[in-house]
Amino acid sequence: MSTTQPVYASFKSIGAYVPEKILSNEDLEKMVDTSDEWITKRTGIKERHLAADDEYTSDMGVKAAKLAIERAGLTSEDIDLVICATVTPDYFNMPSTACIISEKLGIRNVQAFDFAAACSGFVYGLSVAKAFIESGMKKNVLVIGAEKFSSIVDYTDRSTCILFGDGAGAAVISATNNKKEAFIDVHASADGAYADFLVTPAPGTVNPVSQKVLDEGLQYVQMKGNETFKLAVKTLTKDVKEILKKNDIPSEEIPHFIPHQANYRIIKAVGDALKMQEEQVVVTVHKYGNTSAASIPMAINDIWESGRLKQGELMLLDTFGGGLTWASALLPFAGESAQR
């Protein structure tokens, strides 16, 4: 790669890890006052995967990252930045999960850090990787989205426990001079006015660990579900329309629209607003639930492994999460197609 020519960021590879244990709607019927029918109708979710008790966010991130590095045709030594999007780190808040992942992958003396943008984390990560690469500071950035969401879910609260799952996804973003491989655009934004829509009240400086925190269950995620739903549809639709318009690409030219996987009704509403055909829209929420920052890379991995996503094809990513945060990205898949 020449450094005298313009340098672009390119999406070189994808990997993911799905934990073995399955929590089905039928299992949840035995735990809280709910039904498979209600969950399916309101969310589209049939099952989600949960990490084992001794399986941590970093372990899942490492498994996804190993695949991504190998599929990029690289080794750990080639990675010069490790970033991990997570709101369920191994530790609140030191050391970062990115540092633990780096150590487990044998990546040493390389910048590594976590960032919290909830479900928007992975696409936020792409914007960070793009900036580092296009400024010439880094060449191969490992972007990980990993969550053990089950560690902050109250399994007696039917309004949240039906939604979330665990998992990880990772991508290698590399420098290239080939404009055809380059990210077209990434947009990331936030509005803290809606911070109370999705909150984990503890632990933090507002609510340090105490008996009161445990008695009141403040360590669990709290959500204003209905309000979040409405804002998600509105924001996702607006965001994606803007990025398409700005880049003069009509929605029918997008082969792979990969929205955040929180609720099938949200995905359907956004897809319909964009006049997308069913085959353009990627859906994995029925089998993984909402895996927060891991949701989009797990979905990309699914279509890559199944042979649906091929080299050079355009992806439109669109996500929304606690903060509130949102982000979209328009980019070709610059890696090799899966060998089948």
Interface residues toward ligand COA, by CB under 6 A: 34, 38-39, 42-43, 119, 158-159, 162, 223, 225-226, 228-229, 232, 262-263, 290, 320-321
Q: Has 260 been annotated as catalytic?
A: yes
Instruction: Tell me how far, at minimum, the Cβ of 21 lies from ligand COA, in Å.
Output: 20
Options 25, 119, 140, 301, the catalytic residue: 119
- Cβ neighbours around 136 below 10 Å, total: 10
Q: How far is residue 324's CA from residue 277's CA, in Å, rounded to a whole number?
A: 28
Among positive and negative, which fits the CA dihedral 75, 17, 174, 332? Answer: positive
Of 51 and 161, the one with the shorter C-beta distance to ligand COA is 161
Beta-carbon contacts of residue 186 (< 8 Å; ≥ 6 apart): 123, 126, 127, 130, 327, 328, 329, 330, 331
Instruction: Tell me how far, at minimum, the Cβ of 237 lies from ligand COA, in Å.
Output: 14
H-assigned helices in 168-276: 211-216, 225-246, 264-273
Instruction: Tell me how far, at minimum, the Cβ of 84 lies from ligand COA, in Å.
Output: 18
What are 211's two structure tokens? 């008996």
Of 46 and 158, the one with the shorter C-beta distance to ligand COA is 158
Q: Has 256 been annotated as catalytic?
A: no
Of 104 and 265, the one with the shorter C-beta distance to ligand COA is 265
Instruction: Tell me how far, at minimum, the Cβ of 78 lies from ligand COA, in Å.
Output: 33
Instruction: Tell me how far, at minimum, the Cβ of 290 lies from ligand COA, in Å.
Output: 6
Q: What are phi and psi of 206, to 5 degrees?
A: -70, -40
Q: How many residues does the chain have?
A: 340
Beta-carbon contacts of residue 256 (< 8 Å; ≥ 6 apart): 280, 282, 303, 308, 309, 313, 314, 315, 316
**Residue 309: which region, alpha, beta or left (left: phi > 0; alpha: psi -120 to 50)?**
beta
Q: How far is residue 257's CA from residue 50's CA, in Å, rounded to a whole number?
A: 26
What are 168's two structure tokens? 């990880």
Q: Has 99 been annotated as catalytic?
A: no
Of 34 and 337, the one with the shorter C-beta distance to ligand COA is 34
Of 223 and 300, the one with the shorter C-beta distance to ligand COA is 223
Options 25, 84, 256, 260, the catalytic residue: 260
Indicate which residues carry an active-site annotation.
Answer: 119, 260, 290
